[in-house]
Amino acid sequence: MNPVKIGLLGLGTVGGGTATVLKRNAEEISRRVGRDIVVSHVATLDLDRVDELGLNHGIKATQEAADVVNDPDIDIVVELIGGYSPAKELVLQAIENGKHIVTANKALIAMHGNEIFAKAQEKGVMVAFEAAVAGGIPIIKAMREGLSANHIEWLAGIINGTGNFILTEMRDKGRDFADVLAEAQALGYAEADPTFDIEGIDAAHKLSILSSLAYGIPLQFDKTYTEGISNITPEDVEYASELGYRIKHLGIARRTTQGIEQRVHPTMIPERRLIANVDGVMNAVLVQGDAVGPTLYYGAGAGDEPTASAVVADIIDVARALTADPNNRVPHLAFQPDLLADTPILPMSNIQTAFYLRICAEDKPGVLAEMTKILGDRNISIEAIIQKEPNDDKATIIMLTHIVREGDMDDAIETLEALDIVCGKITRIRVESLG
């Protein structure tokens, strides 16, 4: 049988890893597929990479990505450029040309996936994006196929390796935020714009994809609540630990009777949970299905070959399905495209969670009573309270609350911050038991 011909857009970290894995495991891959898979055309701004990666045997190389997209010999375009544009235009043109797509681009799928999938459906081609979420962990396949019997109750994921690496190093070694970030950049884990990692945008891209797969709703990245880790202080990390918790930057999607919670923020979770012990650049996704119960998926969420593992698996999947009936393929968003639901994504004020509060207050009689009254008046019940040794007549008060409506907590915090006895802003971290 003729080989399947690949056009590769981008030979950076993931592109290089993909070329290397395809070459090293070529014999085994062709035994799995029943056909050879060959990279026949690559686009890269740095043409020296072609030699560096040992791809210089009869391969076409160009600096113009459009040459690959418009090459009639290519069966599958593998987009590993990243970012919104020109990736979107190139992918749409490739689909127009009848080519199947494999991409690791979470930003592209989260922002433009609805349009891209509609176009792919129209043209009868596949768009595979396993590497877009949690690098090498086959979470898309698990959600779309392995868990397809389940009603997904909730999922929670550590889906940004750079953020997890930073929080882990801060906790274990007391390292400086900027220093850890620089190391993640040098190792090729961080995004081109590292604020995407730190401010939760990268995790929000990935969460909106997972949420759509879980609940059969269109991609809605713009409705994802996104809060980063840049305000987490070493004190909060230490107090969380004293209380038996770890702070993780989680993406959470949960189905409620009113709608779907879709949120990314620092979260305190009990340290006894397996996911609380996922450290460094590793990713993990915990999925609670009604039939299967909790399932946990763990592995490398970034890096050249771990991400290439997912890219190449997608290439193999597409190569195997090249001759399959387009109407009987696994749907892009796990549910049939004409049966997606319009379940609303809930505004943050309507979500329910417990809270950790760190409050700086004057150390004098009646202060605690005044503060707890404000919480009590809003039906906010306190689970634990600790007052730290006062310093200059100022005390640090740590409170853990029971589960409350976020809107009530917003109101309580605003009222507390307006008191003369409270100094500065109150730190809040949402607490999830994940039980």
Main-chain phi, psi angles of 356, to 5 degrees = -105, 130
Among 71, 75, 130, 202, binds ligand HSE (CB under 6 A): 202
Task: Give the other-Cβ count within 10 Å of 195's Cβ.
Answer: 13
Among 10, 82, 161, 200, binds ligand HSE (CB under 6 A): 161
Minimum gap (Å) between residue 166 Cβ and ligand HSE: 10
Give the x-and-dash track for 110-149 against ligand HSE (CB under 6 A). Answer: -------------------------x--------------
Closest CB to ligand HSE among residues 144, 249: 249
Minimum gap (Å) between residue 184 Cβ and ligand HSE: 7
Minimum gap (Å) between residue 17 Cβ and ligand HSE: 12
Tell me: does residue 82 bind ligand HSE (CB under 6 A): no
Q: Which stretch binds ligand HSE (CB under 6 A): 32-40, 83-91, 136-144, 189-197?
A: 189-197
Minimum gap (Å) between residue 119 Cβ and ligand HSE: 24
Among 197, 199, 261, 406, binds ligand HSE (CB under 6 A): 197
Q: Cβ contacts of residue 22 below 8 Å, gap of 6+?
A: 6, 29, 37, 39, 312, 315
Contact 340, 217 (CB under 8 A): yes
Q: CA 286, 291, 292, 296: dihedral to nearest 10 degrees? A: 0
Closest CB to ligand HSE among residues 281, 426: 281
β pairing state of 152-158 and 245-255: antiparallel
Q: Which stretch binds ligand HSE (CB under 6 A): 29-37, 168-176, 188-196, 344-352?
A: 188-196
Tell me: does residue 314 bind ligand HSE (CB under 6 A): no
Q: Which stretch binds ligand HSE (CB under 6 A): 154-162, 216-224, 310-318, 410-418?
A: 154-162
Give, in order, the Cα–Cα distances in Å from 25 to each of 15, 19, 186, 265, 306.
Answer: 15, 10, 27, 39, 14
Closest CB to ligand HSE among residues 302, 311: 302
Positions in 263-302 near ligand HSE (CB under 6 A): 301-302
Among 71, 130, 191, 314, binds ligand HSE (CB under 6 A): 191
Q: Which stretch binds ligand HSE (CB under 6 A): 71-79, 113-121, 157-165, 166-174?
A: 157-165
Closest CB to ligand HSE among residues 289, 299: 299
Binding-site residue total for ligand HSE (CB under 6 A)? Answer: 11
Minimum gap (Å) between residue 248 Cβ and ligand HSE: 13
Residue 364 designated active-site: no
Tell me: does residue 162 bind ligand HSE (CB under 6 A): yes
Give, in order, the Cα–Cα distances in Å from 212 to each of 56, 289, 304, 326.
Answer: 41, 15, 27, 21
Minimum gap (Å) between residue 139 Cβ and ligand HSE: 12
Minimum gap (Å) between residue 234 Cβ and ligand HSE: 21
Closest CB to ligand HSE among residues 162, 396: 162
Q: Which of 88, 206, 388, 394 is catalytic?
A: 206
Closest CB to ligand HSE among residues 55, 111: 111
Minimum gap (Å) between residue 16 Cβ and ligand HSE: 15
Q: Which stretch binds ligand HSE (CB under 6 A): 5-13, 166-174, 185-193, 378-386?
A: 185-193
Q: Could you report how far apart the first and last alpha carbons of the chain are, in Å?
A: 51
Residues recognised as catalytic: 206
Contacts to ligand HSE by CB under 6 A: 135, 160-162, 189-191, 197, 202, 301-302
